[in-house]
With several copies, the nearest count.
Chain A
């Protein structure tokens, strides 16, 4: 199934792209996806925040077709 992945700030720079369309299997969790991204890009990144369709989710959250997933470092606004 098809999903969109977005990266922000330092993570966007490390991954080298801001947005990607990915084809993933059913029953994949957001953490499965994150681990695959880390391994594909040979990255280490300790503190990541994860959202699905603009809401924060737990690592075990299961993805659905069409989801917009985002990964980013700790936020530093305000």
Chain B
């Protein structure tokens, strides 16, 4: 299991690759579900030029770890990887990466989505978007179901 908060840009696909290659569970998983959230150039019809992500040091890591452990228990996962960006984010950069490894696809799909929903609704991160008129806190996340 790897849970990390990153303050530098990361490439989600490279990260999955590196983590997966570092593990010894090859041949045990048959299903990998991945979600990548990345920085769009618009939100609710407004043009966005950049973003700053704030978190709650100490709590955020602990909270993400609890979400991942719950999912591993509930869906009997082989492993979970969660990366989340903080700091100044540019258009097109990756914000979040969630990966779940399991024997069968049902468990991989369901756990990956559930982890994202829990992260979106309870992990302490806040986005401030740079727009034409200055910058503005995002007030709430869009529903995921």
Do A and B come from the same complex?
Answer: yes
- List the interface of chain A (C-beta within 8 A of B): 6, 8-10, 49, 51, 54, 56, 70, 72-78
In the complex, which of the residues A9, A51, A77 contacts B84, with contact meaning CB atoms closer than 8 Å?
A77
> Is B58 a contact partner of A75 (Cβ separation < 8 A)?
no
Q: Count residues of chain B with CB under 8 A from any CB of chain A.
A: 29
Name the residue on B nearest A10 (C-beta).
B137
Query: Contacting chain A: which of B9-17, B19-27, B122-130?
Result: B122-130
Kindly state the separation between the CA atoms of A49 and B140 in the bound complex, as whole angstroms. Answer: 12
Kindly state the separation between the CA atoms of A76 and B107 in the bound complex, as whole angstroms. Answer: 19
Residues of chain A within 8 A (CB-CB) of B124 are: 8, 49, 51, 70, 72, 75, 77
> Is A75 a contact partner of B122 (Cβ separation < 8 A)?
yes
Does B40 reach chain A (CB closer than 8 Å)? no
Contacts A10-B137, A74-B140, A77-B55 hold; do A54 and B123 have CB atoms under 8 A apart?
no
Contacts A6-B56, A54-B58 hold; do A75 and B95 have CB atoms under 8 A apart?
no
Within 8 A of A (CB), among B93-145: 95-96, 105, 116, 119-128, 137-141
